[in-house]
Structure 1
Amino acid sequence: MSAPPALLSVEALAVGYGPVPVLHGVDLRVTTGTIAAVLGANGAGKTTLLRALSGVLRPTAGTVRFAGEDLRGVRVEHLVRRGLAHVPEGRGVIGELTVEENLRLGALWRADRADAARALDEVYHLFAPLARRRRHLGHQLSGGERQMLALGRALVARPRLLLLDEPSLGLAPRVVAQTMALLRRLRDDTGLTVLLVEQNVRSALAVADQGIVMALGRVVLAAPAARLRDDADLRHAYLGF
């Protein structure tokens, strides 16, 4: 039986900041319509990985294929048009713009204005607090609302692959649970593929299909999330709990 198709395939990826190498020969594969959780301690290279995949950093070696296409040399805006969206750590909400203006930024490149309007309505349906506060400025929102706004702006672009960096950072447990439940629903209902970087290991593994553990810029384990959840010896060896 053949393996399911990979939407994202990374081979021997090396990335650094100037002369300082951070990622060393990273290999990973994310299957279409799944959630893959990238786990590991601070400094493992998780955020650098997402920045390289989204075109913010240029790899020094290796290949990245998205839907079968080689992404080397592709500009960030063209990656967005191909269906790749990145929600960085810190969320990147523009505080001086309203909720609606922030959301419309996610659809600026869309040629189909009618579908862009439908996507905006869908985000308001997903995130009722944003619909109630659409005229509020970004800096007037709570941390949970800013997370909703950052996610919503990415979803307005109708991505095929969502790169999501530390969505639980600084949020109350209830909001974290809601965010993870939303990711599961988007995967199940729309087929969205998610590469999730997360320090909250238990929350991430609760919704993920695959766990990818990084240490010192390398992938040290890739396994079904259920195996990582259920195998105490494996969790203790690779995740420390």
Structure 2
Amino acid sequence: MSNLTIERLTVGYGDGAPVLDGLSLDVPDGAVLALLGANGAGKTTLLRALTGLVPARAGRVTIGGADLTGLRTEERVRRGLSLVPEGRSVVVELTVDENLRLGALWRHRGPARRTAVAEMYELFEPLARRRDAVGHTLSGGERQMLALARALVSRPDVLLLDEPSLGLAPLVVAQLLGVLRDTAARTGLTVLLAEQNVTGALSVADRGVVLSLGEVVADRPAAELAADPALRHAYLGF
């Protein structure tokens, strides 16, 4: 069981007003949930709070019933949570292979690590061809592919992604989102996908949740959300 449950989560910065105030969500096993909303809606704050990078003022976060609330980020990773932050997070001084082995470090040892890395090369063939290339020599699409592979190589139960399509060509975006959808369907991976690319996100998601000023204003099946022109115009800008 790898469902992600968020109960009455309240998060803010310093002494300011909360960015998220009592937010609750449930993402079932193997589901892809698109987290949508304008800049400032609270999407990135939610992902950072789930990983422990921003402390919660109140609320509870569980994966498969196991309470992660109060745990450090490293421990949350060990418990099966993985984040791909905005900005193609790879270690540019390391090779592709070194990045992948580093990503597997938290949850695998010895032969299991080698197997996990080999699986990523099967899943992302361009990375296999560039396994000895240093990170800073990769294209934007290759870096985002590596960032996603680094997250998947640990075989997480729940994967969080923050704007993975930002600045990428449409063809690359389609490939990455397709891998994400197929992986979730094949392995039961639970995915929370924060995206400005509404059309792309809803095309691979089971469900869409729209945030506005830190509150959930819509929670519907992805196809139904995409077909609602009033909601799209009001909150999603298309």
What's the TM-score bracket when you normalise by the shorter of the two chains? over 0.9
Which deviates further from its counterpart, 145-154 or 226-235?
Answer: 226-235
CA distance in 1, matches of 2:79, 2:141: 28
| RMSD between aligned residues | 1.3
CA spacing shift, 1:159–1:6, aligned 2, 3 Å:
closer
1:126-181 Cα shifts (integer Å, max 9, x gaps): 11111111111111100000001101111110001100110000100110111111
CA distance in 2, matches of 1:227, 1:6: 25
* 1:147 counterpart residue number: 144
CA distance in 2, matches of 1:112, 1:47: 31
Cα shift at 1:55: 1.1
CA distance in 2, matches of 1:106, 1:240: 36
* 1:157 counterpart residue number: 154
Q: Which amino acid in structure 1 is aligned with residue 21 of structure 2?
A: H
Tell me if structure 2 keeps the 8 A contact 1:6–1:29: no
CA spacing shift, 1:212–1:108, aligned 2, 3 Å:
same
Residue 211 in structure 1 maps to residue 208 in structure 2: yes
Q: Which runs of 4+ in 1 moved over 6 A?
A: none
Residue 67 in structure 1 maps to residue 49 in structure 2: no
1:183-213 Cα shifts (integer Å, max 9, x gaps): 1111111111100000000000001001010
| Percent of paired sites with the same residue | 62
Residue 15 in structure 1 maps to residue 11 in structure 2: yes
* 2:236 counterpart residue number: 239
CA distance in 2, matches of 1:192, 1:236: 31
CA distance in 2, matches of 1:218, 1:160: 25
CA spacing shift, 1:136–1:81, aligned 2, 3 Å:
same
Cα shift at 1:110: 3.1
Cα shift at 1:71: 1.2
Structure-2-length-normalised TM-score: 0.95
Q: Which amino acid in structure 2 is aligned with residue 177 of structure 1?
A: A
Structure-1-length-normalised TM-score: 0.94
Equivalences for 1:159-238 in 2 at 5 Å? Answer: 159-238=156-235
CA distance in 1, matches of 2:130, 2:157: 27
Tell me if structure 1 keeps the 8 A contact 2:127–2:146: yes
Q: Which stretches in structure 2 are left out of the alignment for 5+ residues?
A: none
Cα shift at 1:237: 3.5
CA distance in 1, matches of 2:226, 2:9: 27
Q: Which of 45, 48, 54 is residue 48 of structure 1 equivalent to?
A: 45
Q: Which amino acid in structure 2 is aligned with residue 87 of structure 1?
A: V
CA distance in 2, matches of 1:111, 1:51: 24
Q: Which amino acid in structure 2 is aligned with residue 175 of structure 1?
A: V
Match of 1:196, SS? strand
CA spacing shift, 1:6–1:189, aligned 2, 3 Å:
closer
Q: Which stretches in structure 1 are left out of the alignment for 5+ residues?
A: none
CA distance in 2, matches of 1:62, 1:134: 42
Aligned length: 237
CA spacing shift, 1:6–1:98, aligned 2, 3 Å:
closer
Match of 1:60, SS? strand
